[in-house]
Amino acid sequence: MYILYSFLFCGTICLIAELILDNTKLTPGHITSIFVITGAFLDTFGIYDFFIMKCGGGALVPITSFGHSLIHGALTKAETTGFVGLLMGMFDLTASGITSAIIFAFVFTLFFKPKD
Amino acid sequence: MEKQKYEQLVQKHNPKESKGKNAIIAFVVGGLVGVAGELLICLYTHWLNISRNDASVYMIVTLIFIASLLTALGVFDKLVSKAKCGLLIPITGFAHSMTSAAIDYKKEGPIYGIGSNIFKLAGSVILYGVVSAWFFGMVRYIIEVIA
């Protein structure tokens, strides 16, 4: 059941993005930024957690989950350490994604040449 | 040349892409990436006997690895030109933007080439993600403190 919901959820988000891309003048950069903000907004009141519970991996793959994990880590830390926790916990959950993206990008850049 | 004529000429040479077809491709490809994520989580929980939370971290790292490698090999750009948002909106697009920016500016040196350009495209995602998460987090925290 997770697999079907994953397909529908992730597919729908990509469909919305494609419709925005084709019908407006916004670039993919605008759209990913808007989607990250949307993800953070949806998690403010726990709506995105509901999607993750229902759809599993399908809700973790789109870029909206990046915004969700940023605010989720910040709020979890804020529960124990107070106001500063918002700053301390910001990258708690996304650290693995950002770090691995940086490392892989750097290593592959060293070994491969640009293709035109 | 008159402006209208010029516009007609441009219209004629623009490649015709049907929006409906693009949307369906994005839906199917995006959905398949989502299914791949879910399947990877299932496999990792089975093979490595780890919790679902840990498995989702492994899954994201795997997808980023595949996307970076395909970008470095030059395959990913061709796939993106066909599938568009189906591959740009999942986390693969984030990895793709970093690797492609780094490789494109490689010839300008390690500091002013790779170093200052690696976040050229991914930087906006991180910037607006952090700012919005901080803002919404403050709102939520203040509401909880008052309530």
In this prediction, residue B16 carries a pLDDT of 62
B49 Ramachandran zone, left/alpha/beta (phi>0; psi -120 to 50): left
DSSP 8-state secondary structure symbol assigned to residue A35: H
Per-residue model confidence as pLDDT tens for chain A (116 residues): 889 999 999 999 999 999 999 999 999 999 999 999 999 999 988 899 999 998 888 999 999 999 999 999 999 999 999 889 899 999 999 999 999 999 999 999 999 888 76
In this prediction, residue B5 carries a pLDDT of 79
Residue B116: pLDDT band by 50, 70, 90 thresholds?
very high
For range B70-74, the mean pLDDT: 92
What is the pTM assigned to this prediction? 0.89
Q: What is the pLDDT of residues B13-42, one digit of tens each?
A: 766 668 888 899 999 999 999 999 999 999
Q: Return the residue in A23, A92, A109, A116 with the most chain B beta carbons within 10 A, the one to mutate for interface testing.
A: A109
What is the full DSSP assignment across A61-78?
SBTHHHHHHHHHHHHHHH
Q: How far is B5 from chain A (nearest CA, A)?
A: 23
Q: Using an 8 Å CB-CB cutoff, list chain B residues near A112.
A: 72-73, 103
In this prediction, residue A15 carries a pLDDT of 93
Angle between helices B91-104 and B122-146 (to 10 degrees): 140
In this prediction, residue B17 carries a pLDDT of 67
Residues of A (24-63) whose Cβ lies below 8 Å from B = 28-29, 31-33, 35-37, 40-41, 43-45, 55-58, 60-63
Q: What is the pLDDT of residues B122-144, one digit of tens each?
A: 999 999 999 999 999 999 999 98
Nearest to A18 by CA among B144, B88, B51: B88
Q: Using an 8 Å CB-CB cutoff, list chain B residues near A8.
A: 31
B102 vs A11, A36, A109: nearest CB: A109
Residue B6: pLDDT band by 50, 70, 90 thresholds?
confident
Q: Where are the domains of chain B?
A: 24-121
